[in-house]
Amino acid sequence: MRRTDGLIDGAVTTMLVFKRLTAVAVTICALMAGLGAVWAGDGKPSDWQMNFQQSATPVMDDIVRFHTGLLYTIVAIAGFVLVLLLIVIVRFNARSNPTPSRTTHNTTLEVAWTVIPVVILVAIAVPSFRLLFLQLNTPQADITVKATGKQWFWTYSYPDNGKFEFDSVLIRDVTKLRADQPRLLGVDNEMVVPVNKTVRVITTGAEVIHAFAVPSFGVKIDSIPGRINETWFKATREGIYYGQCSELCGKDHSAMPIAVRVVSDQAFATWVEEAKRKWARDDSAPTNFAAADPATR
């Protein structure tokens, strides 16, 4: 009787320990999942960020998936090589293996260590090229935005939405930032696009090479004077997404952020009407770069 009691007590204690361990594990996982979102940063970098900013387009979803897949592959290869090295170090050092084998060739092994890496590289190349085509083949676009990189701000125009054009300049005075605007990324006029619509971005540089890049959209393309480059994105969530000029373009390279506000179709239509009034473009007027110099604003 006593013995049975002891056994039952032991089992109960073990169960309790297991339950507690499970609870701890679940809590840690929940915390990690919660923190993961914080660490990822939504539309902008965040403190203690790990990994990419949260994806907001199908292209970025694919980039993240490809990156994660590669990471697993790399870890597996590095782990495998590490295990081989450890075996060599432990089992085949001069002390534990004083009379080494004189084997010099092993055809099967040599074919295997040539063919297996080739297979791995091909397995990586296929999704890699698929991703590249997805990024570079612009699908039928719903709207086009032209982004011109200038020293040191961006000018946006919407060729199929009316004759208006506006500058997007960094807000240097922190007291003028809206509550939701991060320092060094907040701009006076954001580029506005509708949600769930394919946006074609055509970009060029006014005087030197800049680059249009928004991490959450998986977009990064050079803005080169004298030519037009094209990229696209389809933002699936409303919000503000920040990027930065990504080609060293002069003293204020760090001060020409890209801010894209993704809004509903209705809000976009309202914004377009407002923009047409506010920034009506007069093509006969000469471009006044001095007036657009952030230093004079």
Listed ranges 66-74, 189-197, 242-250, 286-294: which one lies at the site for Cu ion (CB under 5 A): 242-250
Distance from C-alpha of 151 to C-alpha of 94, rounded to nearest angstrom: 65
Q: Smaller CB distance to Cu ion: residue 245 or 263?
A: 245
Min. distance of Cβ 166 from Cu ion in angstroms? 18
Q: Smaller CB distance to Cu ion: residue 40 or 170?
A: 170
Min. distance of Cβ 249 from Cu ion in angstroms? 3
Min. distance of Cβ 248 from Cu ion in angstroms? 8
Task: Write out the two tokens for 109.
Answer: 């092994």
Note whether 53 and 43 are within 8 A (CB): yes
Task: Write out the two tokens for 117.
Answer: 């890496």
Listed ranges 108-116, 236-244, 248-256, 257-265: which one lies at the site for Cu ion (CB under 5 A): 248-256
Task: Select the residue interacting with Cu ion from 56, 191, 193, 245 (CB under 5 A).
Answer: 245
3-state secondary structure the chain: CHHHHHHHHHHHHHHHHHHHHHHHHHHHHHHHHHHHHHHHCCCCCCCCCCCCCCCCCHHHHHHHHHHHHHHHHHHHHHHHHHHHHHHHHHHCCCCCCCCCCCCCCCHHHHHHHHHHHHHHHHHHHHHHHHHHHHHHCCCCCCEEEEEEEECCEEEEECCCCCCEEEEECECCCHHHCCCCCCCCCCECCCEEEECCCCEEEEEEECCCCEEEEEHHHCEEEEECCCCCEEEEECCCCCEEEEEECCCCCCCCHHHCEEEEEEECHHHHHHHHHHHHHHCECCCCCCCCCCCCCHHHC
Q: Smaller CB distance to Cu ion: residue 235 or 249?
A: 249
249 binds Cu ion (CB under 5 A): yes
170 binds Cu ion (CB under 5 A): no
Distance from C-alpha of 52 to C-alpha of 167, rounded to nearest angstrom: 28
Tell me how many residues contact Cu ion (CB under 5 A).
3
Q: Which of residues 181-240 bind Cu ion (CB under 5 A)?
A: 210
Min. distance of Cβ 56 from Cu ion in angstroms? 23
150 binds Cu ion (CB under 5 A): no
Q: Smaller CB distance to Cu ion: residue 152 or 233?
A: 152
Q: Smaller CB distance to Cu ion: residue 172 or 276?
A: 172
Distance from C-alpha of 77 to C-alpha of 84, rounded to nearest angstrom: 11
Listed ranges 31-39, 180-188, 246-254, 275-283: which one lies at the site for Cu ion (CB under 5 A): 246-254
Min. distance of Cβ 217 from Cu ion in angstroms? 18
Q: Smaller CB distance to Cu ion: residue 210 or 234?
A: 210
Min. distance of Cβ 176 from Cu ion in angstroms? 22
Please count the other Cβ atoms lying within 10 Å of the Cβ belonging to residue 275: 20
Min. distance of Cβ 260 from Cu ion in angstroms? 16
Q: Smaller CB distance to Cu ion: residue 254 or 264?
A: 254
Q: Smaller CB distance to Cu ion: residue 150 or 261?
A: 150
Min. distance of Cβ 239 from Cu ion in angstroms? 24
Q: Residues interacting with Cu ion, by CB under 5 A? A: 210, 245, 249
